[in-house]
Structure 1
Amino acid sequence: MESLLQKIPGVSILISNVIVKEFPSISLFVSNLNSDENLLIKTVFTDEKGNKIKLKENIIERIKTVFISTDSDKKIVQ
């Protein structure tokens, strides 16, 4: 997934500490793989049991790299 994202000119999406603490498990799904220019990543938040949590707004962004900010460091999601 990282190699696909590196091809995409775009913005980075920063997920805040608050969201990471509230939703510790985050899954990423890549869609629209036929067009690099329109590569989308959808973040799906789940609880500790693996149940999907519905957000008020879907977080779908055209991005190059996804950074998740934690208390200790910033990780590149692969």
Structure 2
Amino acid sequence: MDSDAERTLLAVLRDREATAVTTLAETLDAHPITIDRRCYELQRDGYIRQPSKGVYAITDAGEDRLETHVNEG
């Protein structure tokens, strides 16, 4: 996943807390399948978690990752 897409998705999850894939897709103007794939990658890396089916939330590691992106950019 490119860093801009990662940063944007993490920022939305930080601001909205637990959010459904469909809402993320609407917010980011992307297809839900694309968002689901990106969320899978971020979850695999420990940056987000899935509290229920189709819903994602940022983790402490995700907050740290987002902060790192902000300081890099």
Would the TM-score normalized by the shorter structure come out above 0.5?
no
Normalized against structure 1, the TM-score is what? 0.27
Q: Could you say which structure has the larger radius of gyration?
A: 1
Choose between structure 1 and 2: higher strand proportion: 1
Choose between structure 1 and 2: higher helix proportion: 2
Normalized against structure 2, the TM-score is what? 0.28
